[in-house]
């Protein structure tokens, strides 16, 4: 057992830290709304790219640094610690690129990877549908062959960043005759076509991070099938596994910072003398640290022993629950300001409700833990 | 970064699990618990294997291994609930070794490390006439006691200098006693805090073992038990609570690993030991109570009977959760540590 970084890892972290200190992003735009925010993150990705830091987890042959899992986690921890934004094309960097590296043809890798890295082409993810959320394989969007193209019709939801995207990782049904997991195919769909209508989905915070996509006979060339026709479920799982990996470290650090901010506010207001407040804050501290330790244990066990433990499923569950507890406690500590529209803490309070739903609901995560980690029997689905 | 155990540590873990599975099977634990007796034969065997002295320095007759190895054994003994005074004795040795005077170490450590003597640690109050601990787990047969007052002061008491009274705790796998007396100060020079942090880590490790086994028994039971024509473990009201038990157990486990590592890491870890130990005890105390309570609930009616074994785990968890301060006590300490750091980290 050694809970310190190796010399190489420490050197990686220090180099990144120095770079981030020397190359801070410009201040976040205070007006201009969502467009300005995206432009800001796009410029930031360009700066990371120019510095060689857009995707250290990518192999060197594709423009990354071939960073280890640990270094990749350090990267996201450090981005979080420096309080810089995530690059604009985070979905392409984290999900799309790595999925293509596993399943893509040489032509696809050559065509798509460079503009993902530079941020010239932004990617979004078209998986969920109104009737296919937790039960993703039940999706209904159809693709039928037509010459060298596929013609796609259907509806997608929770597509973040679609309005800025060029490419959508789209899973559609290409065969109705086989079991539901087997009839799926993974496509790269050009979002910039008339047949794809993007409608922002206003969420409980009032903003629209996500969109609905209405797809009416969109065309996708056959060359944009990833991993073969009928193999979409496996390719999608590659994407989803990447979703739960790296990003967790950035979120975990952000949680820590929110807690530190809240501790500082409680301190300024003399509330740490209140044993009930102190107890609640310390409870969050324990939870927050256990998330950090579980995340590192899961990652390093995978890296060293090739054997992921149960931690992967536990981290997202505990993180989402803890962030909800934290933002709720903030409402008590901060007072009316936390309930005033447009403030930081009111936003966090509302945004946190999504945490236990997005990227796998807590209920689904508990099923995964019960069935795959504890080996409990599966309840037969209602007929 | 590596949370894994070394080959030697893995051997210790495997040997302990195998030995305890054969020597401390549930029937044997029950037999001793019902008679409120310790298992003298098993204690002799463990002593011959050097377990009581695993973390005691070689100079004092121990094996000179660290907190990680100690935590491994504590966890395994927590899993088995073997009716031997292991935890009380190693806590006594830890506190005397890391906070005691040279004379105190000389007098007690050799015997505690060899298992010829046993010790027990209790939470006590003080007044003008001395120390008083109404319920010291493992105290019934102990030769030496360490009494601790709210983490702030401690004393050592030889059995023949103490007034030892009968006291039955709910956990009869570890026969208790009431202990009072004048006592000899322990760790008055400021060494007590770090010694207590090591002791807390050991208690938390035992709690992780208790949780682990309670979860294992519960999962086995809900797979077997059928109602409405299906294993009850298929119902999400049941399976999700099992998942929660796992989350609580694993959360406590990583905190214990962190604390044990910090205690052994010397210069690298010493700075974080107070925080790590407080986190481990807070997380493990809560997990111990919640996981064993869930174990009883998920066993249904049988879980409330004397005949089923889950209640022993619940009882041990209750005693361990309170020992040397419960979750709230250690969260109060953490709040001070975290606030100091947050305030220093945030620009004015």
**Does residue A78 belong to the interface with chain B, where contact is any CB pair within 8 Å?**
no
Q: Among the options A243, A348, A363, A371, which is catalytic? A: A243
Mean pLDDT along residues B149-174: 96
- Which B residues in the span 220-249 are in contact with A, Cβ-Cβ below 8 Å? 222-223, 230-231, 233-236, 239-240, 242-244, 246-247
Domains, chain A, ranges and CATH?
A: 7-88 (no CATH), 123-230 (2.40.110.10), 246-373 (1.20.140.10)
Whether the pLDDT of residue B345 is over 70: the answer is: no
- Is the Cα dihedral A300, A305, A309, A312 positive or negative? positive
Taking residues B135-156, report their average pLDDT. Answer: 96
**For B215, which residue in chain A has the nearest alpha carbon?**
A374
Q: Which chain A residues are within 8 Å of B268, Cβ to Cβ?
A: 4
pLDDT at A260 over 90: yes
Partners of B242 on chain A (C-beta within 8 Å) are 370, 374, 376
Distance from CA of A321 to the nearest CA of B (A): 12
Nearest CA to CA, how far is A310 from chain B (Å)?
9
Kindly provide the b/e burial profile for residues A337-376, where b requires at least 16 CB atoms within 10 angstroms of the residue's own CB.
ebeeeeeebbbbbbbbbbbbebbbebebbbbbbbbebbeb
Structure confidence at residue B149 (pLDDT): 96
Contact B246 A373 (CB under 8 A): yes
Are the beta carbons of B234 and A282 separated by less than 8 Å?
no
Beta bridge partners of A124: A168
* Residue A280 contacts residue B328 (beta carbons within 8 Å): no
Closest CB from A285, A369, A379 relative to B338: A285
CB contact under 8 A, B282 and A373: no
The strand pair at B119-123 and B144-149 is best described as parallel
Average pLDDT over residues A54-81: 93
Q: What pLDDT is recorded for position B346?
A: 44
Could you read off the pLDDT of B103-118 as tens digits, one per residue? 999 999 999 999 999 9
The total of other beta-carbon atoms located within 10 Å of residue A138's CB is: 13
Residue A133 has pLDDT above 90, yes or no: no
Element (H, E) at A143: strand A142-146
**Beta carbons of A63 and A55 less than 8 angstroms apart:** yes
Query: What class is the B192-345 domain?
Result: mainly alpha
Say yes or no: B10 contacts chain A, CB-CB below 8 A. Answer: no
Whether A376 sits inside 8 A of B223 (CB atoms) is yes
Query: What local confidence, expressed as pLDDT, does residue A141 receive?
Result: 97
- Give percent of chain A above pLDDT 70: 98
3-state SS class at A151: strand
What's the pLDDT band for A124 if we cut at 50, 70, 90? very high
% of chain B with per-residue pLDDT over 70: 97
Place of tokens 């910072």: A257
Give how far A186 is from chain B: nearest CA, Å: 32
CA dist A135 and A67 (Å) reads 34
Substitution target in B335, B336, B347, B348 with the highest count of A β-carbons within 10 Å is: B335
Q: How far apart are CA A75 and CA A55, in angstroms?
A: 9
In three-state secondary structure terms, B38 is: coil
Strand residue runs (E) in chain B: 119-123, 125-127, 130-136, 144-149, 153-158, 163-166, 177-181, 184-186, 226-227, 230-231
Q: Which two tokens stand for residue B52?
A: 């009581």
Distance CA(B81)–CA(B74), nearest Å, equals 10
Grade residue B333 by pLDDT with cuts at 50, 70 and 90.
very high
Which residues of B, range 265-324, sit inside 8 Å of A by Cβ?
265, 268-269, 279, 282-283
Whether A345 and A331 have beta carbons less than 8 Å apart is answered as yes
- Whether the CB of A289 is below 8 Å from some CB of chain B: the reply is yes
Q: How far apart are the CA of A136 and the nearest CA of chain B, in angstroms?
A: 20
Task: Give the pLDDT score at B269.
Answer: 63
Backbone dihedral angles phi then psi of residue A188, each to the nearest 5 degrees = -110, 110
Among residues B111, B115, B130, which one has the least CA distance to residue B50? B115
**Residue of A300 and B323 predicted with greater confidence:** B323
Which of B205, B245, B250 is the best substitution to test chain A (most A C-beta atoms within 10 A)? Answer: B250
Residues from chain B that touch A293, judged by Cβ atoms under 8 A, are 254-255, 257-258
Buried-exposed string B249-279: b where 16+ CB fall within 10 A, e elsewhere: bbbbbbbbbbbbbbbbbeeebeebbbbbbbb
Residue B190: the pLDDT is 80
- Residue A170: pLDDT band (50, 70, 90) is very high
Q: How far is B214 from chain A (nearest CA, A)?
A: 13
Q: What digits encode the pLDDT tens for the residues B79-103?
A: 999 999 999 999 999 999 999 999 9
Distance CA B184, CA A270 (A): 39
**Total residues belonging to chain B:** 348
What span, in angstroms and rounded, lies between the C-alpha atoms of B105 and B54? 16
Q: Which of B242, B258, B331 sits opposite A376 (nearest CB)?
A: B242
Q: Which structure tokens are listed for A348? A: 């966090």
Question: Cα–chain-centroid distance for residue B34?
Answer: 21
**Minimal-distance CA residue of chain A relative to B277:** A286
Report the topology of domain B7-186: Butyryl-Coa Dehydrogenase, subunit A; domain 1 (1.10.540)
Over range B270-297, report the average pLDDT.
Answer: 95
* Inter-chain residue contact A3 with B258, CB threshold 8 Å: yes
Mean pLDDT of A46-51: 96
Residue numbers of A between 348 and 367 with CB closer than 8 Å to B: 363, 365-367
Tell me the average pLDDT across B192-199: 96
Instruction: Examine the pLDDT at B281 and tell me if it is beyond 50.
Output: yes
pLDDT at B344 over 70: no
CA dihedral A19, A20, A21, A23 (to 10 degrees): 80
Please classify residue A245 by burial: count the beta carbons closer than 10 Å to its beta carbon, then call 0-12 exposed, 13-18 middle and 19+ buried.
Answer: buried
Return d(Cα A219, Cα A273) in angstroms, integer: 64
- Decide if pLDDT at B347 tops 50: no
Integer Cα distance of A18 and A86 in angstroms: 18
Q: Is A376 on the interface with B (CB under 8 A)?
A: yes
- What is each CA distance from A207 to A37, A124, A127, A201, A202, in whole angstroms? 12, 18, 21, 8, 6
Q: What is the pLDDT of residue A382?
A: 58
For B34, the token pair is: 């019902």
Q: Sort A40 into a burial class: Cβ within 10 Å, 0-12 / 13-18 / 19+.
A: middle
Is A231 within 8 Å of B303 (Cβ atoms)?
Answer: no
Residues 131-190 of chain B whose Cβ lies under 8 A from any Cβ of chain A: none
Residue A334 confidence (pLDDT): 96
Axis-axis angle for helices A247-268, B327-345 (nearest 10): 90
pLDDT band at A245 (very low <50, low <70, confident <90, very high): low
The mean predicted confidence, pLDDT, of chain A is 93
Name chain A contacts of B239, Cβ cutoff 8 Å: 366-367, 370-371, 374, 376, 379
- Chain B residues near residue A3 by CB distance under 8 angstroms: 1-3, 257-258, 261-262, 265, 269
State yes or no: is A77 an active-site residue.
no
* pLDDT tens sequence across A69-92: 899 999 999 998 999 999 999 999
- What pLDDT, on the 0 to 100 scale, is given for residue A38? 92
**pLDDT tens, position by position, A220-232:** 999 999 999 999 9
Ordered by start, the domain boundaries in chain B are: 7-186, 192-345
Nearest CA in chain B to A303: B2
B118 touches A: beta carbon within 8 Å: no
User: Rounded mean pLDDT of chain B?
Assistant: 95
Pick the closest to residue A95 from A298, A245, A252 (CA basis).
A245
Return all residues near B148 (Cβ < 8 A) that are at least 6 apart. Answer: B95, B121, B122, B123, B124, B154, B196, B324
- Averaged over B214-222, what is the pLDDT? 98
């Amino acid at each position: 057992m050694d809970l310190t970084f190796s010399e190489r890892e420490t050197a990686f972290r220090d180099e990144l830290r120095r770079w981030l200190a020397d190359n801070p992003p410009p201040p976040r735009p205070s007006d201009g709304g969502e467009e300005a925010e995206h432009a800001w993150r796009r410029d930031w990705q360009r700066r990371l790219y120019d510095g060689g830091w857009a995707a250290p987890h990518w192999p060197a042959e594709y423009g990354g640094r071939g960073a280890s899992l640990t270094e990749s986690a350090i990267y996201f921890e450090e981005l979080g610690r420096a309080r810089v934004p995530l690059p604009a094309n985070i979905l392409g960097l984290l999900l799309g690129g790595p999925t293509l590296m596993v399943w893509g043809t040489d032509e696809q890798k050559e065509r798509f990877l460079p503009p993902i890295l530079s941020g010239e082409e932004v990617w979004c993810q078209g998986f969920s549908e109104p009737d296919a959320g937790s039960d993703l394989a039940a999706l209904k969007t159809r693709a039928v062959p037509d010459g060298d193209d596929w013609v796609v019709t259907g509806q997608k939801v929770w597509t973040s960043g679609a309005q800025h995207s060029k490419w959508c990782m789209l899973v559609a049904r290409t065969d109705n005759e086989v079991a539901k997991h087997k009839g799926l195919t993974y496509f790269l769909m050009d979002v910039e076509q008339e047949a794809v209508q993007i409608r922002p989905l206003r969420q409980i915070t009032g903003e629209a991070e996500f969109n609905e996509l209405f797809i009416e006979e969109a065309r996708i060339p056959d060359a944009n099938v990833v991993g073969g026709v009928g193999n979409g479920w496996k390719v999608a799982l590659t994407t989803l596994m990447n979703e739960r990996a790296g990003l967790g470290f950035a979120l975990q650090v952000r949680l820590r910072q929110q807690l530190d901010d809240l501790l500082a506010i409680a301190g300024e207001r003399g509330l740490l003398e209140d044993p009930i407040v102190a107890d609640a804050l310390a409870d969050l501290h324990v939870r927050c640290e256990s998330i950090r330790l579980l995340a590192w244990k899961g990652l390093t066990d995978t890296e060293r022993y090739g054997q992921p433990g149960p931690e992967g499923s536990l981290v997202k569950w505990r993180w989402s629950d803890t962030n909800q507890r934290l933002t709720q406690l903030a409402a008590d500590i901060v007072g009316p300001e936390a309930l005033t529209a447009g403030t930081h803490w009111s936003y966090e309070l509302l945004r946190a409700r999504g945490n236990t739903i997005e990227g796998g609901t807590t209920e689904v995560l508990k099923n995964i833990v019960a069935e795959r980690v504890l080996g409990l029997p599966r309840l037969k689905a209602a007929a | 970064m590596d949370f894994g155990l070394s080959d030697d540590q893995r051997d210790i873990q495997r040997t302990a699990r195998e030995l305890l599975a054969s020597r401390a099977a549930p029937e044997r634990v029950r037999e001793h618990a019902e008679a409120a007796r310790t298992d003298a034969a098993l204690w002799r065997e463990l002593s011959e294997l050097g377990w009581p002295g695993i973390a005691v320095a070689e100079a004092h007759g121990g094996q000179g291994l660290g907190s990680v190895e100690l935590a491994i054994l504590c966890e395994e003994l927590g899993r088995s609930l073997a009716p031997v005074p292991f935890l009380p004795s190693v806590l006594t040795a830890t506190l005397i070794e890391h906070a005691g005077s040279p004379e105190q170490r000389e007098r007690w450590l050799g015997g505690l490390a060899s298992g010829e003597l046993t010790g027990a640690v209790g939470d006590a109050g003080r007044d003008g006439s001395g120390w008083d601990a109404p319920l010291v787990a493992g105290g019934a047969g102990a030769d030496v006691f360490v009494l601790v007052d709210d983490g702030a002061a401690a004393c050592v008491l030889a059995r023949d200098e103490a007034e030892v009274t009968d006291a039955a705790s709910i956990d009869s796998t570890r026969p208790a006693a009431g202990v009072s007396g004048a006592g000899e100060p322990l760790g008055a020079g400021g060494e007590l805090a770090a010694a207590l942090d090591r002791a807390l880590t050991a208690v938390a490790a035992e709690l992780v073992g208790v949780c682990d086994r309670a979860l294992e028994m519960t999962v086995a039971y809900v797979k077997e038990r059928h109602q409405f024509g299906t294993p009850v473990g298929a119902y999400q009201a049941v399976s999700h609570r099992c998942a929660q038990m796992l989350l609580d157990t694993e959360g406590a486990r990583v905190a214990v690993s962190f604390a044990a590592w910090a205690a052994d890491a010397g210069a690298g870890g010493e700075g974080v030991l107070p925080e790590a130990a407080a986190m481990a005890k807070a997380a493990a105390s809560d997990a111990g109570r919640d996981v064993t309570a869930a174990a009883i609930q998920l066993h249904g009616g049988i879980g409330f009977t004397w005949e089923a074994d889950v209640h022993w785990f619940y009882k041990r968890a209750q005693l361990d959760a309170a020992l040397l301060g419960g979750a709230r006590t250690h969260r109060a300490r953490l709040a001070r540590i975290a606030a100091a750091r947050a305030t220093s980290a945030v620009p004015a």
